[in-house]
Amino acid sequence: MAENLIIVESPSKAKTIEKYLGSKYKVIASNGHVRDLPKSQLGVDVKNDFEPKYITLRGRGGVIEKIRKEAKAADHIYLATDPDREGEAISWHLASMLKLDPNEKCRIVFNEITKGVIQKSIKAPRSIDLSLVDAQQARRILDRLLGYKISPLLWSKVKKGLSAGRVQSVTTKIICDREREIQSFIPKEYWTIAVKLNIRRHNFEAKLFGVNGKKTEIPNEEEAKRIADICTDAQYLVTSVKTVQKTKHAPAPYTTSSMLQDASNRASLPPKRTMLCAQQLYEGVNVKGKGNVGLITYMRTDSVRISAEAQAAARAYIAKHFGEKYVPEKPNFYRGRTGAQDAHEAIRPTDINLTPALLKDSLEPGQYKLYKLIYERFLASQMEEEVYEATTVSIDTETAEVCNFRANGTKTIFDGFTAVYKSAADDVSEEGVSNLPVMEKGDKPKFVSLSPKQNFTEPPPRYTEASLVKTLEELGIGRPSTYSPTISTIIDRGYVDKEKKLLYPTELGFIVNKVMEDNFDKIVDVKFTAGMESRLDSVEEGKERWQDIVRDFYEPFEEQLDKAFESVEKVVIKDEVSDVPCDKCGAMMVYKEGRFGRFLACPNYPKCKNTKPILDKIGVKCPKCGADLIRRKGKKGKNFYGCERYPECDYVSWDMPTGEKCPKCGGMLVQKIRVNGRYIGCENKDCGYIKRKEPKKNDQDDREE
């Protein structure tokens, strides 16, 4: 038996750590929490200062028995769970289970799983941080009280199986509020005019800015046509050319929020998938020739700070591979947002020499996409500024009523950090901006064509998962660990739908939100929720008792709850009727929401209990039997394509079939989505036929969902 026992949460993390330590250390995994509040009851003694009742989780007996057995034989026990509130609470529960003194120096923490950091942390154990544990308990108990008290109200007044949550409720309200803004928005017409001009055999575009030196708006077609008539075939004169040299500073390394936003915008990875990949990269991935390696630092953080060692390594790497001119004279430092927790570093690669290209064959597609983003963002954050020239050319018509146009262009002088990284926003902002032909004051470009365009003001956009994460962070709602699960919860509960990346509140979402707004105004109040997060931070800092926070919340909440049970009227939600008749009784089946998504059910339940799955046909016939192919979801949430006659027909493909036959072998051509792009090729690996390659797109890779 080993002299020292280290307990972590996951087997992959245990495997990575164990290889860095000698035979005197054994590393085992608890597989997450071993104790929690019971599911079958409230589990909080409200009358006894909100004392929680923790129980051993069902199905964890074997794991706990193994931990106790190894702990009994070890001379020293170290608890090495994640370095945050949740991780501290898991260590506290483990210590309680193993009857360890919480004041004993049994807790080790690390921001990255590398040999040097692990060996250093082993030499500096500390006692369990009870303030961190209390902050986790406060959050857990608040969420339990709210969820278990409001859910029965929603079940009795709206629909069975519903729930409410402290963060999920205010997030649902934010999405509902945006939808109401969109629905009440009245578009306003306006017109724009762009003229194409030519000088020295180069065409360029200028946009109308004003008339007679005053900025103008064109409200209707009549005015647009009047101005267009003046400008068509007119003489044009360059009145000024202004060129300014500007710089753009490199972006900060990733926080959890900025990582989730960029992964969604640039790699089409939804938050849930992003956090799963990040967890895997942090805990350790099997790298060819190296075994399990922790590739990134801890992924739940809102700090932009990085260590001096990592910064020095990045600067040396940049100098070697890009040149000294790409290394800033002074190292780049970044200021975090107000209220950000600075316990951990920003998210970065643990070894700058492990480039994405070197790891490509060792990583799954989602892991590779995310690692590449993290690597490039960190490297760019330590590079020199981009330097560019911005040119504005003012051009007037030589007419009685002078129409004023402007043309803008940019020219890169030094690419700096953009040699490595460009954000999705940069790509959008550069649309329509190009290098202008050289012009001087007094030049007379010639008229080529003119195009008035009708436009309408647009309502505020619907949230995407990325923009919602950004909004939650800006409002101070939730923390890095809660962004992804909050969004997943409101989608899973049926309060919000996601369609082509956009989030829409459902009818059910509106109904539940109205119940919450009318009866629990504080719970869905943004300022109240953000203030609660600040108070939880104060518990973590040891400035406030967690029981006081819970009491301040619970007492007025209990009064509101009693009133709600009396005042809320029963809501009748009509089922959406399908065009599918019931096989047993002939009634038109209705759509229902279940644990695994939507399905069809007979409206005559309980007399008729017939149900059917909803078939998502893709319009392609099965190559084996000729029946329809349908899109299905696997156990891990990935889409695959199979025959509707399964199990009679066993055809299946993880790549979307196109319906075309391979000209080389006769097999099915499928759309393949890989880390190096998209292409259409034969599903038969031995064939290798490729019809065409397509450029990378930002649309959702449905295999990653």
Q: Minimal CA–CA distance to 390: which of 241, 249, 251, 250? A: 241
- Residue 185 burial (CB count, 10 A): 12
Residue environment code for 140-174, b if the CB has 16+ CB neighbours within 10 A, otherwise e: bbbbbbbbbbbbebbeebbbeebbbbbbbbbbbbb
- CA torsion sign, 585 to 590 to 594 to 597? positive
SS3 151: helix
Of 616, 239, 574, whose CA–CA distance to 393 is shortest? Answer: 239
The continuous run of DSSP H or E covering 517 comes out as: helix 507-519
Q: How far apart are CA 63 and CA 57, in angstroms?
A: 11
Instruction: Return all residues near 435 (Cβ < 8 A) that are at least 6 apart.
Output: 409, 410, 411
CA dihedral sign, ordered 633, 634, 638, 642: negative
Contact 667, 687 (CB under 8 A): yes
Beta bridge partners of 165: none
Decide if 625 contacts 651 (C-beta within 8 A).
Answer: yes
Give the residue among 131, 43, 13 at the shortest CA–CA distance from 545: 131
Cα–Cα dist 406/236, whole Å: 12
Q: What are the backbone dihedrals phi and psi of residue 541, each rounded to the nearest 5 degrees, phi first? A: -85, 0
Mark residue 314 as left, alpha or beta (left: phi above 0; alpha: psi -120 to 50; beta: remaining): alpha
Structure tokens at 426: 């940069």
Place of tokens 């079940």: 155
Q: Which two tokens stand for residue 349?
A: 């690669």
Establish whether 317 is a catalytic residue: no
User: Is the Cβ–Cβ distance between 234 and 386 less than 8 Å?
Assistant: no
∠ CA(371), CA(373), CA(374), 5° rounding? 65
Instruction: Give Cα 230 to chain centroid, integer Å.
Output: 50
**Minimal CA–CA distance to 440: which of 654, 165, 283, 238?**
238
How far apart (Å, rounded) are the C-alpha atoms in residues 58 and 666?
A: 52
If 0-12 CB within 10 Å is exposed, 13-18 middle and 19+ buried, where does residue 48 land? exposed
CA distance 434 to 436: 6
Q: How far apart are CA 308 and CA 310, in angstroms?
A: 6
- The token pair that represents 414 in the structure block: 């030094």
Q: Decide if 33 contacts 92 (C-beta within 8 A).
A: no
Alpha helices (H) along 185-307: 221-231, 256-267, 271-283
Cα(320)–Cα(323) distance, integer angstroms: 6
The answer to whether the CB of 90 falls within 8 A of the CB of 9 is yes
Which run of H or E residues covers position 512? helix 507-519
Closest CA to 501 of 273, 179, 265: 265
**Which of 511, 460, 459, 434 has the alpha carbon at shortest distance from 162?**
511
The values of phi and psi at residue 81, to 5°, are -75, 175
Active-site residue among 236, 254, 282, 298?
A: 298
Question: 217: Cβ–Cβ under 8 A, 6 or more apart, which residues?
Answer: 190
Q: Which residue has the tokens 């800015």?
A: 209
Catalytic machinery residues: 298
